[in-house]
Structure 1
Amino acid sequence: MATRRYPFDMFDEMERFVEQMRRSMYEGVDDVRSMAGMGDAHVSIEEGDEGYAVVVDMPGFEKDEIDLRFDEGHLLVEAVHEVTHESPVGSLSRSRHVHERVSVPGDVVVDDIEATYRNGVLEIVVPTLDSPGEDDGNRIDIE
């Protein structure tokens, strides 16, 4: 005997599937990773012996469109990519914005922060100290 399916059953199944995907994505996430800003780009943080490695997926941006700063214990990533297309109906513009704020625990060696941007991936190495130190806001150059 066949079971009768109602039209909205598929939405319940889809919701269960999405929740299962969400759980598998965040399985094993520790406190440091959960501090990453859940904004416009995928951010991952790994803790190592010397500090943290932060990876931000930002495809489609140019290096000069990205502003990277460290200020008061937070790594700030902001970027704007604007594109204008000419069409038969006139100019069409669109822009993509990224704003991420990542809390970095510990005493950061601000002058030793390094960042590279290649193939749409921003990689930032944030070294930390064991002893407390001064923390002033600094702009970080991206190579």
Structure 2
Amino acid sequence: MRRDDRDDPFDDLFREIERMMNDMMSGDVDFESSTGLESGPGFGADTHVDIHETDDEIRVIADIPGVDKEAIDLKCDGEVLTISAANERRQYDDKVSLPGTVDEHSADATYNNGVLEVVFDRADDSADIDLD
């Protein structure tokens, strides 16, 4: 029995994937309008934020491609790290909730090849108060 390729249920899907790949490779795709996403606050699909913690420190690593180091603004209140950055095509804004309280004055930040890394010392635990 010979298989009839015209009855392949995935044929249309594969053709659509091939068309989209060809459009993408030729640069004809507007990703924001084709995905239904609007440009605005947030890092978007090309940015990834990781948080690593130890007993002594909390480390935030964010991919922010295509941004100059001077265009990055960081703020921290001890519980939330706010990352803002901009380039000619995009505005990045994100609030990263930290998994514990940090000493925001201990922050050490580096930016290299599109990767932002911010390291905080954990805040000291609350002081014990003696009752008299």
Contact 1:107 1:132 in 2 (8 A): no
- Cα drift, residue 10 of structure 1: 4.1
- Cα drift, residue 52 of structure 1: 1.3
Match of 1:128 in 2: 122
Q: Deviations over 1:44-81 (max 9, x none)?
A: 11112212111111121111111111136110101111
Partner of residue 109 from structure 1, selected from 88, 103, 111:
103
Partner of residue 49 from structure 1, selected from 42, 55, 64:
55
The one-letter code matched in structure 1 to 2:90 is R
Match of 2:43 in 1: 39
Q: TM-score, structure 2 length as denominator? A: 0.61
Q: Identify the structure with the greater strand proportion.
A: 1
Number of equivalenced pairs:
96
List 4+ stretches of structure 1 deviating above 6 A. none
Change (3 A) 1:105 1:69: same
Alpha-carbon distance in 2 for matches of 1:107, 1:114: 16
Change (3 A) 1:54 1:72: closer
The one-letter code matched in structure 2 to 1:55 is I
Alpha-carbon distance in 2 for matches of 1:9, 1:62: 40
The one-letter code matched in structure 2 to 1:119 is N
RMSD value, Cα: 2.5
Q: Structure 1 vs Structure 2: percent identity of aligned residues?
A: 36
Contact 2:78 2:104 in 1 (8 A): no
Q: State the structure with bigger RCO (CA 8 A, min sep 6), 1 or 2.
A: 1
The one-letter code matched in structure 2 to 1:79 is A
Q: Tell which structure's C-alpha radius of gyration is larger.
A: 2
1:1-143 matched pairs, under 5 angstroms: 1=1, 2=3, 4-6=7-9, 7-8=11-12, 10=14, 39-40=43-44, 41-71=47-77, 73-82=79-88, 95-132=89-126
SS at 1:39 equivalent: coil
Alpha-carbon distance in 2 for matches of 1:67, 1:56: 13
Contact 2:103 2:121 in 1 (8 A): yes
Contact 1:107 1:131 in 2 (8 A): no
SS at 1:112 equivalent: strand
